[in-house]
Amino acid sequence: MVWPVFLLHGTTGLANKTPSIVTIEPTTSGQEVTVEKLLLLVDDEPYILKALQRLFHRSDYKVLTAKCGYQALDIIRDHPVAVLISDYNMPNITGAELLSVAKTLRPDMYTIVLSGNSDQDAVIQSINEGGASKFISKPWDENELHRVVDDAYANWSKQHYALDTPGLLKQASFVDALNTTLKGPYTHDYAIIYMQLADYQNVREVIGTGEERDLLNRILEQRSGESTQEAVMGLMDDGRLCVFLKIPESESHERCIAALLNSLPPSVTYNTHYFRTAFNSGYSVSAPSRRDANQLIKDALTAMHHATASGDSKAIKFKRAMQLKSTEQITLNNQLHQALENNEFSLYYQPKINLADQSLCGAEALLRWSNATLGSVSPDVFIPLAEHSPLINEIGDWVIRHAASQWVEVIPTESTTARVSVNVSPIQLQDPRFISRLVSALSVSGVNPTQLEIELTESTALHDLDSSLPLLRNIRDLGVKISIDDFGTGFSSLNYLSRLPVDIMKIDRSFVLPMHESTSNRQLVKNLINMGQDLGLEVVAEGVENAEQLATLAEFGCDVIQGFYYSRPLPLAEFIEFLSGYTPSQQAVPANAPFDGYRLTG
């Protein structure tokens, strides 16, 4: 069985902390390394350390060394050491003292004392007191020492791995491994994914208690081997899976997570039962300022509960709104339900600029909510909340009506091709009234349907082609344009995109933002643009903030640009002002123009 569990943390964190004292053996070559078997050697005699190191050099242990008890304790505190071999007679603190403190830090660590016969009585006492697990006298027998360490490690593994599946860690070890990984210099993001079987309740009814683990084991065994992702998996105390995944530079979180989920088999048979193995999963992502393993795991769990509630098989990212205390949720919810009635919503407009001739080719309408008690609340907070109730349909309808009628006000000439786009939640598409309400908004406002565009994010709803195809065709038959928003962040498959009746593809800002960081980031954006254009789509890049990004996108032949570089989203009156001051010819953008969110408002 191929079970790719990968070594996640580099050695630099430790090296940074105590550069001159700790030496770390290079890990096994390549990416595919099992979770580290950490072996710590402690002796004040350099030649003994060397000899011990040589002894374990060729084995798959990761060997750490310390020249005194204090250094050893630092290492033990920061690293999940499995086996410790320590000299007894050392300056500063003795072997016995080291072992007793070490045991409180890592109770499950196996400790071997090396000493001359003269210390034997003291060592035996230490063993009796529970500090040391084993005594080996100097000079040691190499074979014996090796065997003792192997046995100790096998024992340790039993305590740390949840199953026979090598690498599926128990919760405590998983948390440890994540903490260690995030402690070093911050070089990569990690996604922390909490997941449970979508049919969890059914599963529990069918199989006996305690068997869930075996079922999980079966699923993991059948994970397709081609995945080269660096992932560490944990079986949490609640019986669910948690994974942390290294996000390579130039990759999006969403794509990595999708690849992970896709590597799992769609179904398994277990004890003659057939199980669908769809998972509900939620995830959080580390950041230089977000490195607390417990918090990240907690956030992923919160997101997983949301995924379960919405029945979404796509992994859902943790958002701050999910974490609101229940009292805050209730206030927010209550206020939100009155917001329409109290007229607290408004629309802001963010211009979109055609790169070829610098003309203003449209604007995205973005919803704003300003409430007397709560102040102004981000749509990232209240939209997900509204999506949990039928309210999203009412709010969505309000947005379409207002955007359509305001656009007629803003762009009075029928002949213009400039479009206003509105964001439509996948939940709105499931409302049978959607089309009739859209038709009504078009006729009441009098806007030319070709001047309206709806932005749809990729979602499982869209993937169900049987129901989404007729609906999208209906929308398009009205003349309304359809845009796929946040492209690249979901389970984007070109195959599926090519079958959907869409006109525009919006590349998510998470791809545009890191373009300057590497060639591969730029190449990715270039590929996205080419793929979209090959499908005959107009390609919009969003989140363009500076001239460098603009120049690169122009070089790649991107069609339309949206972002702070041209303008932030503006309230209606300011947007109208922006329009009146905007002349394409004057606005040819110098490649080195400084970033200024309001550059073109004057």
Residues that bind ligand C2E (CB under 6 A): 350, 366-367, 378-380, 383, 399, 422-423, 425, 485-486, 509, 542-545, 563-564, 569
Cβ-proximal residue to ligand C2E, closest one: 563
Asked if 278 contacts 197 with a C-beta cutoff of 8 angstroms, the reply is yes
501 binding partner (options ligand C2E, Ca ion, none; Cβ < 5 to 8 Å by kind): none
Residues of the chain by 3-state class (helix, strand, coil), percent to 5: 45, 20, 35
Query: What are the strands, taking DSSP E only, across 67-158?
Result: 83-87, 110-115, 134-137
C-beta closer to Ca ion: residue 299 or 508: 508
CA distance 245 to 601: 43
CB of 396 to ligand C2E, least distance (A): 6
Residue 176 binds Ca ion, judged by CB under 5 A: no
C-beta closer to ligand C2E: residue 92 or 370: 370
CB of 378 to ligand C2E, least distance (A): 5
Closest CA to 280 of 250, 315, 247, 249: 315
CA distance 486 to 101: 52
544 binding partner (options Ca ion, ligand C2E, none; Cβ < 5 to 8 Å by kind): ligand C2E
CA distance 359 to 579: 11
SS3 for 165? coil
532 binding partner (options ligand C2E, Ca ion, none; Cβ < 5 to 8 Å by kind): none
Asked if 441 contacts 404 with a C-beta cutoff of 8 angstroms, the reply is yes
C-beta closer to ligand C2E: residue 145 or 365: 365
Scanning residues 506 to 535, which ones bind Ca ion (CB under 5 A)?
508
CA distance 83 to 38: 7
564 binding partner (options Ca ion, ligand C2E, none; Cβ < 5 to 8 Å by kind): ligand C2E
β-pair partners for 347: 367
Residue 558 CB neighbour total at 10 angstroms: 25
Q: In a 10 Å sphere around its CB, with 0-12 CB exposed, 13-18 middle and 19+ buried, how is residue 566 labelled?
A: buried
SS3 for 372? coil
Q: Taking CB under 5 A as the rule, which mask of x and - marks residues 471-500 in contact with Ca ion?
A: --------------xx--------------
Scanning residues 453 to 472, which ones bind Ca ion (CB under 5 A)?
455
CB of 177 to Ca ion, least distance (A): 33
C-beta closer to ligand C2E: residue 184 or 488: 488
CA distance 161 to 169: 4
CB of 512 to ligand C2E, least distance (A): 8
177 binding partner (options Ca ion, ligand C2E, none; Cβ < 5 to 8 Å by kind): none
CB of 581 to ligand C2E, least distance (A): 19
- How many degrees, rounded to 5, is the angle at CA 540 between CA 537 and CA 508? 110
C-beta closer to Ca ion: residue 312 or 455: 455
CB of 292 to ligand C2E, least distance (A): 25
184 binding partner (options ligand C2E, Ca ion, none; Cβ < 5 to 8 Å by kind): none
Alpha-carbon distance values, 591 to 505, 555, 596 (Å): 25, 11, 14
231 binding partner (options Ca ion, ligand C2E, none; Cβ < 5 to 8 Å by kind): none
C-beta closer to Ca ion: residue 95 or 396: 396
* 105-113, 238-246, 501-509, 526-534 -> range binding Ca ion (CB under 5 A): 501-509
* 405-413, 422-430, 434-442, 581-589 -> range binding Ca ion (CB under 5 A): 422-430
| Region of residue 123 (phi > 0: left; psi between -120 and 50: alpha; otherwise: beta) | alpha
Q: Residue 36: how many CA atoms within 13 Å on its side-chain side? A: 27
Residue 254 binds Ca ion, judged by CB under 5 A: no
Residue 244: phi and psi, rounded to 5, are -120, 140
CB of 495 to ligand C2E, least distance (A): 24
C-beta closer to ligand C2E: residue 214 or 394: 394
C-beta closer to ligand C2E: residue 4 or 563: 563
Asked if 484 contacts 458 with a C-beta cutoff of 8 angstroms, the reply is yes
181 binding partner (options ligand C2E, Ca ion, none; Cβ < 5 to 8 Å by kind): none
Asked if 188 contacts 253 with a C-beta cutoff of 8 angstroms, the reply is no
Rg (CA), the chain: 30
425 binding partner (options ligand C2E, Ca ion, none; Cβ < 5 to 8 Å by kind): ligand C2E
Residue 78 binds Ca ion, judged by CB under 5 A: no
CA distance 223 to 1: 10
Q: Which residues contact Ca ion by CB under 5 A? A: 423, 455, 485-486, 508
